[in-house]
Amino acid sequence: MFQSNKEKTAFVTPHRLYYYKFMSFELKNACATYQKLMTKIFKPLIDQTMEVYIDEIVVKSGTRDEHAQYLEETFHLMRAYNMMLNPAKCVFGVNAGKFLGFMVTQRGIKVNSVQMRVILETPTSDKEQRLNYYVSKAMVDVETRYSRMEQAIIALKNAAQKLLESPGEKWWTLYVDKASKAFGSRVEYEAILAGLNLALTLATTKLEIRSDSHLIVRQIQKDYEANDERMARYLTMVEDHLKMLNKWTVKRIPRMENLKADALVEIIVTLPIREAVIWSFGGSYLICLSNPEAKYVLVELHEGESDNHLGERTLAHRAHTQGYYWLTMKQDAKNYVKRCDRCQRYALIPRVPFEALNPVTSPWSFAQWEMDIVSPLPIVVVQKKFLFVATNYFRKWVEAEAHVSIKDKDVSKFVWKNIMCRFEVPQAIVANNGP
């Protein structure tokens, strides 16, 4: 560890202050720093004769002679960087070994038998044989703030995706029912879209949709038209999802045959659920808020403990990253920032020009000139109606001369006589290519 960085790792004890002389893996960035160092040391050999992950090193070879040569190259690099090894953790000349929890052999990578011991030693009865799977789900980001029930749902969904075998040519059935009469067919379409998303996630190729809504079924079968603009958008989204399936069918069933879906609806209605959870297949789960809850979230993020008064776009993005969502999120954030008195009084007004500016600098006097032609001038006796003007960037010195016409030789003569002969050869002459 660098001498200047040792004091940054100091910690207090009852006796005195201490600091680390060597990098400790308990530091937050120790693993990343150590991996960067190992990659730098063994860069010529990585992916060629060895593999490195933090403090795990494997030297690979096809024959014993090559193995000895590759080990010599590895030890040479270690000696150059004063790196030491622990002999108790080193094994040489083996045909198989453990690396990152797996067994690496000549035939490939195999599962570590020690880790599989729990599964192999699971007791089973004589009459049946069961295959056990073990899966886990680590909560990340906003998922750590979910309730226990929501985390259990996430874990079950993750387990279902990992354990469920490929559907193949098997027909799957989707039962649909709405849990709210206030929104009518809109909720029914939302349920169908959620089921289609789940079916496509599980690689389903054949799907049968069963619903007790005569209107929804007829619209999907194109017997009825969706006159409402919102329902038309829902119908278009359902058709786009159905195109991803090889075969599909939609069927209307009587309410008495939809008892399972109805029972789930009754359970959901009776539960004291005050918030809806959006199931996002591409990222984390978001909590859908009502208007009062959304207003409270905006107030806390804008004027809460941080009191940083975010802009409209940043405020909406911050609410989304905190795990919240509602339909009018961006518009509500924009209106709230506009109504904020402190933001209107003390906010920084951007005065950035619409186009990028090109700064012009001159390193020394008479090094850079700007040249232009002024015309037409009032005609005098000598008929000189054109004016050559050259302005120095640094001193603002002006050279001007009137001419009868504009020709190459006149311009060259003016530059030679008024600029080069008086102020030496300039570094640059800028013109606007005008007449």
Choose the weakest-confidence range: 8-17, 129-138, 182-191: 129-138
Choose the weakest-confidence range: 16-30, 149-163, 194-208, 392-406: 149-163
Q: Which residue has the tokens 């496509």?
A: 200
Minimal CA–CA distance to 370: which of 390, 350, 387, 386? Answer: 390
Pairing state between β 324-325 and 286-288: parallel
The reply to whether the predicted model has a pTM over 0.75 is: no
The pair of three-digit structure tokens given for residue 51, joined into one six-digit string: 């593999």
The pair of three-digit structure tokens given for residue 80, joined into one six-digit string: 């150059």
Cα 407 to chain centroid distance, Å, stands at: 60
Which of the four pLDDT bands, split at 50, 70 and 90, describes residue 180? Answer: very low
Whether residue 246 is predicted with pLDDT greater than 80 in this model: the reply is yes
Minimal CA–CA distance to 278: which of 155, 154, 173? Answer: 154
29 vs 125, higher pLDDT: 29
Strand order in the sheet with 428-431: 398-403, 386-392, 368-374, 428-431
Domains of the chain (ranges plus CATH)? 3-111 (3.30.70.270), 117-270 (3.30.420), 276-346 (no CATH), 368-431 (3.30.420.10)
Rounded Cα gap, residues 266 and 115, in angstroms: 44
pLDDT (tens digit per residue) in 22-58: 766 666 677 778 888 888 888 888 888 888 888 788 8
196 vs 178, higher pLDDT: 196
Rounded Cα gap, residues 357 and 353, in angstroms: 8
pLDDT (tens digit per residue) in 298-332: 888 888 766 678 888 888 888 888 888 888 888 99
pLDDT of residue 267: 53
Whether residue 281 is predicted with pLDDT greater than 70 in this model: the reply is no
Cβ neighbours, 10 Å, residue 383: 10
What percentage of the chain has pLDDT greater than the value 90? 2
Residue 242 near residue 155 (C-beta atoms within 8 A): no
Highest average pLDDT, of 12-21, 45-54, 152-161, comes from 45-54
Q: Which residue has the tokens 């050559």?
A: 388
Which of the four pLDDT bands, split at 50, 70 and 90, describes residue 375? Answer: confident
